[in-house]
Amino acid sequence: MKDTDDKLTNRNIKPTAMRELVLDILTEQKMAISLSDLEQKFHKSDKVTLYRTLKTFEEKKLIHSIDDGTGAVKYALCKESCQCHPEDLHVHFFCLKCQHTFCLSDIPIPSINLPVNFSIENINMVVKGVCSSCND
Amino acid sequence: MKDTDDKLTNRNIKPTAMRELVLDILTEQKMAISLSDLEQKFHKSDKVTLYRTLKTFEEKKLIHSIDDGTGAVKYALCKESCQCHPEDLHVHFFCLKCQHTFCLSDIPIPSINLPVNFSIENINMVVKGVCSSCND
DNA sequence: AAGTTTATGCAACTGAGTTGCAAACTAATC
DNA sequence: GATTAGTTTGCAACTCAGTTGCATAAACTT
Ligand SMILES: [Mn+2]
Ligand SMILES: [Mn+2]
Ligand SMILES: [Zn+2]
Ligand SMILES: [Zn+2]
């Protein structure tokens, strides 16, 4: 898995076996997953190690986190070029039927005119509704 | 407190002593507060009663909830006319310095062009940064 | 190889949110 | 006013995501 390895080193993350496994799983996902989702993809695993792996990945901007209001933060891969600046961010969607959280990677978060003297560092925008698969 | 009383009955909430107290506290706040914030405004109180009070208020659209990513959901009063429809919603702001969460009641959530077949029921948009008071 | 740093695994804890149940209270009926 | 039925409140106990501490293991450094 030289590719996985590179993705890690490119983000200044030491490529351990554990981290490669986690990155591979994250790469496979079509939707954002939570820590406990991730835990269940292993037969035997330690929640804390996975927790710290996700923290490291997020810190190094390999993944981003989504607070979708379900009580469990979800994670999804960032694009190669992503620096998680406000301009880089996209809208997320939580489907009330299938309970899945998706990146709407093509929909940038619209810019907001904040009141004077407010400065901005980050935005979390989650739309809730029914996804196309569930809208038959 | 006939006014408080009316606000409750207008939303079809039976005006008990407890609920009037909670509504009064919520009315006083300049920022959104969490369940435990609310709990601390009482000398002696029961978290569960406050929890259920907030749930009732939210259900009846007297208040709305804000998931600001801090791990504790915040609550703030709705406007008299609010029905909590997507058009009624506004942006929220979380200050990374003072850790306060504000309603930016004057800033409506911009409308989003979702992919085909996605339907929308609700939006949570939280901007994080530094508020005007903290930006001296 | 010895020493140093970093990653992993296990146990134990925190804190938000939630449920069940019994007592208190309120409203409706007789 | 007493009886009943429905609603609200208070207490205990629980769930579950997230987190910390610490000991061991593995990876680099000299
Ligand atoms: Mn995303
Ligand atoms: Mn608000
Ligand atoms: Zn769906
Ligand atoms: Zn501030």
Probe site for chain B from A31, A73, A125 (most B CB atoms < 10 A): A125
Token pair, residue B46, equals 């029961």
Over residues A39-64, mean pLDDT: 96
Tell me how many residue pairs between chain A and chain B have CB atoms under 8 A apart. Answer: 99
Q: Does position B18 have pLDDT exceeding 70, yes or no?
A: yes
CA B25 to C1' C24, in angstroms, rounded, equals 24
CA distance B85 to B94: 22
CA distance A23 to A1: 11
Instruction: Identify the pLDDT of residue A136.
Output: 80
Share of chain A above pLDDT 70, in %: 99
How many residues in chain B?
136
Q: Which domains does chain A have, with CATH numbers?
A: 2-135 (1.10.10.10)
Residue in B112, B122, B123 closest to A107 by CB: B112
Instruction: Identify the pLDDT of residue A94.
Output: 97
CB B71 within 8 A of CB B58: no
Instruction: Identify the pLDDT of residue A1.
Output: 58
Mind listing the pLDDT tens digit for each residue in A8-33? 999 999 999 999 999 999 999 999 99
